[in-house]
Amino acid sequence: MESFDHSARAVLACCDELSHYSEAPASIERTFLSAPIHDVHRHLRAWMERLGMRVWVDAAGNLRGVYAGERADEKRLVIGSHLDTVPNAGAYDGVLGVVMGVALVELLRDERLAYGIEVIGFSEEEGVRFGVPFLGSHAVAGSFDRTVLDRRDQAGVSVADAIRAFGLNPDEIGSAALDSNAAAYLEIHIEQGPVLEKAGQALGAVSSIAGQTRAAVTFRGKANHAGTTPMALRRDALCAAAEWILAVEREARATHGLVATVGKIDAAPGAGNVIAGEVQATLDVRHGVDQVRERAFRTIVRAGEEIARRRGLLFSHDVRLNQAAVPMNPDLLALAAESIAAASPPGAPAPMRMVSGAGHDAMVLAARVPSAMIFVRSPGGVSHHPDETVLLQDVQAALMAGSYFLRKLSL
C-alpha cells in the first residue's frame, strides 16, 4: 500500500510539473506539436528511459516507450492517452493517463511480464489547432487521413508543416501504425463529469463511448419592426427556436441516458428593435446506443419541423457529424471492473459500468485492438477548466486497479 501512495504522489507531482509547459503564460495550453510538447516529451522520456524503456517519437509526434516482456516476440499491451490540451485547460485531462502508464511500469520494479507494455502519449486528441481531433491516435491505429496534412491553422501553417517544424517527416506517418504484436489497449482518464462523485465511487469501468450526432439547424421567418408588428402577425424565428430548444430538453430528459444540447444560437439581424428573421443553432445529441440516439434525433427534427409549420416558418437541418457508439471489449471491460473491485475497500458497492459521453483516444484504438477504459472521479465534475482536479486517494486506487489489471491480463 505504501508503494501505491508514493507512486500516486509522484504521478500528481509529474502532472503538476507538466502543467507548466504551456503556450500561454498564465494558463495551460498545449496544441498539436507546439513548442511545449518538446518539453513534455523531454520530461517523460527521461523517466521512461530510467525504467529501461525504449523510447522514440513517431512521425505523428506521439511519444512512445516500450517496456519489453519476457520474450522477444511477445504480445504487447498499449497504455495511453493524450498530451495536448484545450485552451485554459486543467492539469489532468489526458496527461494523467500517460503519466499513470509510466507509473504502472515503475511499479513492476524491473519485473518482466509475459507480455510487453507500450506507453503512448498521443500528440493530438482535442482538435484545437487544426479543427480535426485524434490526429495522434489515428496515426497509431493506422487510420490517419492523409488529406488532413493540408489543413491549416489560423496562422496558415499546415499539419504537414507543423510535423516538419517538430523535426519529423509527414511522409512517414504510415510507420506510426501499431504492429501485429499490439494486442490490447488500456486508457485511464478522468471522468470529466459528476457521475462517479454522485455515486461516491473513485473509479468506473467504461462500457462504451457514446455515439454523437451533431447538426446545424436553421429557422427562417421574417424580420420586421418590433414596435409596429402585432404579435399575431409575427414570424419570429427566435421564438420558434426557443420553443424548439425546450423540446430538445424534454426529449433528453424523457430518454434514459440521452444528452442533447443546443450550445449556440445566432439571431439575425441581431438588433434589439427588430424581430429575428433567421436563427441558426447547433444541436449535439449523444447516447451509448446508436438506435436510441438516432430515434431521438429524428424526434427532435420532427419537433423543429412542426414548430416551424405552426408558426409559418421554414426549418432546415444539416448533419455535420454522425459518429457511432464505440463499445469497449467485453473481456477487457470485465477485467477492468474486476480490477476496480480489487482496489476498492471491503463492502464497497460493485464497480460502476458507465457510458462515456465524451470522445477519447480509445474510440479510435478500438477499431484496431480490443480496448478498455477506466475512469477516475472528477471532483465537482469539472474538466476543460483550470479548476479540474483529482484526489490523491483516487489516483492511488487507479494505480492499484491498473496493477491488478496488468497481473491478470492474458494476451
Q: Are residues 355 and 369 in the same domain?
A: yes
pTM to 2 decimal places: 0.92
State the DSSP code for 231. G
pLDDT band at 356 (very low <50, low <70, confident <90, very high): very high
* pLDDT of amino acid 386: 97
pLDDT band at 215 (very low <50, low <70, confident <90, very high): very high
Q: Enter the C-alpha cell of residue 30.
A: 498545449
Q: Enter the C-alpha cell of residue 298.
A: 429524428
Residue 133: how many CB atoms within 10 A of its CB? 19
Q: Are residues 369 and 268 in the same domain?
A: no
| Per-residue pLDDT tens digits for 165-214 | 999 999 999 999 999 999 999 999 999 999 999 999 999 999 999 999 99
CA nearest 404: which of 347, 339, 310, 311?
339
Section 311-332 average pLDDT:
96
* pLDDT of amino acid 73: 79
Q: Are residues 192 and 294 in the same domain?
A: no
Q: Enter the C-alpha cell of residue 260.
A: 442533447
* pLDDT of amino acid 72: 73
DSSP labels, 271-320: -TTEE--EEEEEEEEEESSHHHHHHHHHHHHHHHHHHHHHHT-EEEEEEE
Residue 224 CA to residue 59 CA, distance in Å, equals: 56
Domain boundary pick from 284, 299, 323: 323
Q: Are residues 282 and 379 in the same domain?
A: no
Q: Are residues 350 and 391 in the same domain?
A: yes
Q: Are residues 7 and 43 in the same domain?
A: yes
Question: Helices in 2-128 by DSSP H: which ranges?
Answer: 2-18, 35-50, 95-107
Angle between helices 2-18 and 95-107 (to 10 degrees): 140
Domain boundary pick from 278, 297, 323: 323
Pairing of strands 182-190, 116-122: unpaired
* pLDDT of amino acid 28: 98
Q: Is 224's pLDDT higher than 80?
A: yes
* pLDDT of amino acid 311: 98
Classify 79 as helix, strand or coil.
strand
Domain boundary pick from 261, 293, 323: 323
Q: Could you tell me the residue range of the domain that residue 219 belongs to?
A: 211-323
CA nearest 408: which of 145, 195, 114?
114
DSSP E strand boundaries for 23-91: 54-57, 63-67, 76-82
Residue 180 CA to residue 306 CA, distance in Å, equals: 53
- Computed over every residue of the chain, the mean pLDDT equals 97
349 in Cβ contact with 203 (< 8 Å):
no
Q: Are residues 219 and 196 in the same domain?
A: no
Spell out the residues 6+ positions from residue 155 whose beta carbon is closer than 8 angstroms to its own.
Answer: none
Distance of CA 172 to the CA centre of its chain: 26
Q: Is 268's pLDDT higher than 90?
A: yes
Q: Enter the C-alpha cell of residue 80.
A: 495511453
Q: Are residues 174 and 120 in the same domain?
A: yes
Residue 295 CA to residue 275 CA, distance in Å, equals: 33
- Domain count across the chain: 2
**What is the distance in angstroms between the CA of the first residue and the CA of the last residue of the chain?**
27
Q: Cα-flanking dihedrals φ and ψ of residue 214, to 5°?
A: -120, 140
For residue 98, what are the CA distances in angstroms to 14, 16, 278, 303? 11, 13, 46, 44
| Per-residue pLDDT tens digits for 47-103 | 999 999 999 999 999 999 999 999 877 899 999 999 999 999 999 999 999 999 999
Residue 214 CA to residue 218 CA, distance in Å, equals: 14
* pLDDT of amino acid 11: 98
Q: Are residues 103 and 146 in the same domain?
A: yes
Q: Are residues 160 and 29 in the same domain?
A: yes
Q: Which of 1-5, 181-185, 269-273, 366-370 has the lowest mean pLDDT?
A: 1-5
Q: Are residues 143 and 47 in the same domain?
A: yes
Q: What is the CATH number of the domain that holds 264?
A: 3.30.70.360
381 in Cβ contact with 193 (< 8 Å):
yes
For residue 274, what are the CA distances in angstroms to 86, 237, 336? 37, 11, 57
Q: Is 130's pLDDT higher than 80?
A: yes
Q: What is the CATH number of the domain that holds 175?
A: 3.40.630.10
Rounded (10°) CA dihedral 184, 95, 50, 106: -60
Go through 233-258 and write b for each residue having 16 or more CB atoms within 10 A of its CB, e for each that does not: ebbbbbbbbbbbbebbeebbeebeeb
